[in-house]
Amino acid sequence: MSKAKDKDLSLPPGDLALKEALTEEGCPLCRLVREGEERWLWQLLYEFTGDPGVRGELDRALGLCHAHAHLLIKVVEERELIGGDGVARIYESIVRRYRRDLMGSGSAPNGPRPRRLPRKAGCPLCSRGQERELGLIHSLLKGLEDQEWGVSFKASDGLCNPHFLLALREADDPRIRGLLI
């Protein structure tokens, strides 16, 4: 086995996935964040629809944000093993809370209605995606300390503008900043 292959096998799985993503089209971070989001939604629907901790998190956020709700639909439609019943279980308690909050909003029947109920937390998938994004940025910056990673990065499509700016902000080493630019 070549020295490079031996080196790749010693990488943590996340770093190996990042290095492989550098060989594919588009921003590797966008791809890996999206794959992670889809995987989380799959696991949510397949294993965690009844988990009180996850349900509580979704309840406080009044469900997923608009973008992730659409991604949830995509995951349900593309995966044969998942039906809409998991989505219904998740949103059942959210709709119940929403209804209860609207009924108790103190509005007179003919008075003004609240335009929206405040979320008590942000979208849980947005939070996870941001954590993943930052972790990937740090993995990339650490990887770029290695000359082989630098060559792979230069041969790649590079980063999208938001990830490029985030990487520049997080990079302390001027040499790494130069590689990014």
Q: Give pLDDT tens digits for 58-100.
A: 998 999 999 999 999 999 888 776 778 888 888 898 898 888 8
* Residue partners of 82: CB distance under 8 A and separation at least 6: 42, 45, 46, 75, 76
How confident is the model at residue 23, as a pLDDT? 94
Mean pLDDT of 146-174: 95
Written as one letter, the residue type at 103 is: M
How confident is the model at residue 11, as a pLDDT? 47
Q: If 0-12 CB within 10 Å is exposed, 13-18 middle and 19+ buried, where does residue 176 land?
A: buried
Give, as one character, the DSSP assignment of residue 63. Answer: S
Answer yes or no: is pLDDT of 9 > 70.
no
